[in-house]
């Protein structure tokens, strides 16, 4: 259960960082639009896979936006987990 919480914290840090990066990209003035580190993002994932049954059609798929701030969010989340672990062992 402990590892599940850590993985959840890291995934949430990644997603929150990605969201903050997109918000910052929208709020940046046009003169900063040339900064590729803020404006460029990549979609990672796979296309939906469909399963057709007699009574239902089910689709599975995931796509995640990856940008610079998603990695910053992952770093901050992992740093917080590390600090929590180091302080709890004392």
Instruction: Tell me, rounded to whole angstroms, the distance of Cα 5 from its chain centroid.
Output: 16
Instruction: Tell me, rounded to whole angstroms, the distance of Cα 46 from its chain centroid.
Output: 15
pLDDT at 90 over 70: no
Residue 38: which pLDDT band, with cuts at 50, 70 and 90? low
Q: Tell me how far apart the alpha carbons of residues 75 and 39 are, in angstroms, rounded to a whole number.
A: 20
Q: Spell out the domain ranges in the chain.
A: 2-88
The residue among 90 and 16 whose pLDDT is bigger is 16
């Amino acid at each position: 259960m402990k590892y599940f919480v850590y993985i959840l914290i890291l995934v949430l840090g990644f997603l929150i960082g990605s969201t903050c990066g997109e918000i910052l990209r929208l709020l940046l003035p046009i003169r900063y639009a040339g900064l590729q580190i803020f404006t460029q993002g990549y979609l990672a994932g796979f296309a939906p896979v469909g399963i057709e049954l007699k009574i239902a059609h089910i689709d599975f798929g995931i796509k995640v936006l990856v940008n610079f701030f998603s990695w910053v969010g992952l770093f901050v989340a992992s740093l917080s987990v590390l600090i929590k672990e180091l302080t709890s062992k004392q």
